[in-house]
Chain A
Amino acid sequence: MTIEKPVGRQTEKLTTGTQAVAQAVKLADVDVTAAYPIRPYDGVMQAVAKLIADGELDCEFIVAEGEHSQFEICKHASAVGSRVFVGSSGVGWMYAMESLCVTPSLRLPVVAMIGNRALDDPGAFGVEHNDAMAVRDLGWLLFWVEDAQECFDATLMAYRVGEDPRVSLPVGLGVDGAFITHSQTLIKIPDQETVNEFLPPYDLGDRLLHPDNPISIAPQANEDWVMEIRKQTDAAARRVKDVIREAHQDFRRLFGRGGDNPFFEEYMTEDAEYVLFGMGSLGLPAKVMVRRLRERGEKVGFVRLKWFRPFPAEELAESLGRFRAVGVIDRDYSYGSPQQGGVLFTDLRAALYDAERRPKIVNFIGGLGGRELTPEMMDEMADLTKRAGRGEEVPAVSWIGVRE
């Protein structure tokens, strides 16, 4: 991975993941935010409120009476030309579902932070990815971050990609509850000038809802119209990958971070025989495990997916085809799915169905409800993946760290 020299001045700061998102919200000069507390999203709500109270950010802060209104407020604010920030977690996110499904259809680039949290029941606070994944088919772009630095980086990226006129779709940032939202790490924050160079002002053009541009948004339509509207969203979704590539190049040039690949990160994969594959905060224990196993001579690597939507199918097929086996770690579940595994696993198998070189793909369900995924667990997953790659009988799906 080449590190380039960033443009402008960067300052170092110790922040939680949610505070890092708030710092990016400040530098993006967001106009409107609507808040309704739920853990672990609420950290970002407090951080943004404090920035406004301290006079560091000029932004309308609206306390809604629930998540449904919270997301509706931001959707409408986005339609009248405000750059918006919003977020929620777990069942709060689900309560906003009606608003979540209309936002991509209206092509409004709302940026939301989903502090990933297990869906009730049981009422739990820890991380699971099913909450954010509930919108995966609806036109939302979804990015899973690994740490506080990426919280900051991906927030800027979300505005840049989502607001691009070729895209104009909402973006959700999956931030693992507790592991990222509630732990502080050192991050680098660029100056306002450089951020302005990366992120142009939000401009809806002739789609702006304004008295001088009288339009009606979202009239009722019957069966003669809906398919064309869906096709437009589909066309926009197909354009996203190129826009991400462009934005990623700019990001690296200006901030000196982000790695070679805009869609996923590869760790020690150059000569790997098999790899583990996953999203979010599990990148850290996975990398620790890879280093330990490498010391023992194991040819193992790790691939961390960043953009879950759009799913980089061709790029993954090309990269993962080099390995004998891939062990997909899902911090989610998809009951009754084709292999009774996880969402990421199911998507990856679909992505590789037409690939010329198809590695063996096995699945690990783990870390549900905020349970830790330790390097030792990763060790077990690596071993199962290696054996699958060598043709041994390994279950397609294994639950890791569950008491029998």
Chain B
Amino acid sequence: MPERVEGGGRAASSADPAVEGRSSTEVREEAKSVEFTYRGIFQKTLAANLCKHVVMAARKRDWLGSTIQRYSDSPERNGIPAKQFAVIAPDEVKLQAHMAKYEPNELDVITVLDDTLCDGVESWAYYGRQPINLRLRRGGTLLVISHRPAEELLKVIPRKDWEWTLAILPGTPSMGGLWVYRDDGTDMRVLGAIARVRPDIIELDEVRRVVESDDQLGEEHLGALEDGYESVRVHRVAAGEGKEDDYEPVRLPGWRELREGIIVEAVKPGERNPHYKSSSDRTMRPVVNFDTCIKCRQCWIDCPDECFEVTEEGLHPINYEYCTGCGICSQVCPVEDCIVMVNDLEFIEEGDRDVFGMWKEDPEAYNRWREEKIARGRIEHHGYYNADTWAWAGGRQAESPVE
């Protein structure tokens, strides 16, 4: 079984010696890496399009590039945090030096295609929830698609001991381009935003030329590109600003320590797997009205992650560490509004904490809290937005945009 490292020490950075100690934006003639963190399956086409366009835009200045899909994330599962990377470099030698390590170790830009990923990602068991900006290069840029202000996002994003940039592109999570979902211009808006905040990586004119030379793309794409360029907001994050960094990297056991025969401790009856808390898969969470619950147990029976508890009263509070936010409970619950799905970023204060105690202590206060959450972040569907209209046309599409 993996153990946590004492004191949460970081592995020594293996940054390219050429850029060691220099800020991401100051480095001009070295390879650049851009990460796209996205929701598995839902946004994979979007991430792939973005990677492709970063490389093709850099081509316009005669740079070379390559894209990498994090292989551990494939095959993806619905909503699981996943990553794709674009690496660009001024020449073949520098590109190869960078590509010699399959996944970039330090990122100039980390782009977050769904703001509910900001509170950390855990794609696999044992690794713990990793900060969204874990591999950001000194002085790098975190670009998030969100309608939330920087102060709010910084409540869940860990601090660094150097300055970095948080760029926010107003918008909601998109499934643009996935199977039957039509392209909604989100990829163009993101490219425009990157061009605005990091012209050292791609310039607006370079992307524009890529769009113009592609007969699949037209005026509306150029419009979306401009929109992203114009509407991105920039927040300089000071050293020490942000959430306390409590991430402790896992120390993986050596072959002599592992149990033989590919054996791990099973989860005992009545217990849950302490090494895999799957809540970072979640974009929304169920909130329960314990007063209207009729104790039919349907939610407890149908939850695929078994995250409903059973109390003495016969009620079913939720262990949010294991809830993936699939929404099945809210669909099978026969009582109207007894279980309501709410955007997960409404719970920055609460985290995965159990809220049943709050109800036990003061049901009225709990219900006021519950109704407030629902008013701010109620979600009636899967949590993604794609109404076959342009993300930028007519402004926002969030049902209840947060100002």
Contacts and interface: CB of A to CB of B under 8 A. Distances in A.
Interface stretch (A81-89, A221-229, A377-385): A221-229
B263 A215 contact: yes
Given A223-B72, A232-B260, A216 B265 contact: yes
B72 A229 contact: no
Nearest to B252: A224
Interface residues of B, number: 20
Contact of A229 (B71, B258, B268): B258
B124 A222 contact: yes
B261 interface: yes
A228 B258 contact: yes
Contacts of A227: 255
Contact of B260 (A207, A222, A225): A207
A1 interface: no
Contact of B262 (A214, A218, A231, A235): A218
Contacts of B263: 207, 215-217
Contacts of A214: 265-269
A109 to B, nearest CB: 11
B394 interface: no
A160 to B, nearest CB: 19
Interface in A90-106: 105-106
A108 B259 CA distance: 14
**What size tier do the contact residues of chain A reach?**
20 to 34
Interface string A211-254: 00011111101111101110110011000000000000000000
A86 B71 CA distance: 37
B interface SS class: loop
B260 A219 contact: no
Nearest to B271: A214
Nearest to B273: A216
A219 to B, nearest CB: 6
A217 B72 contact: no
B253 interface: yes
B124 A215 contact: no
Contacts of B267: 214, 216
Contact of A222 (B72, B253, B268, B269): B72
Contact of B264 (A219, A222, A224, A235): A219
A215 B265 contact: yes
Nearest to A217: B263
A217 B262 contact: yes
Contacts of B265: 214-216
B115 to A, nearest CB: 27
B258 A232 contact: yes
A231 B265 CA distance: 20
A107 interface: yes
Given A222-B124, A232-B255, A235-B255, A168 B264 contact: no
A225 B252 contact: yes
6 contacts: A168-B261, A207-B263, A214-B266, A217-B261, A217-B263, A225-B252
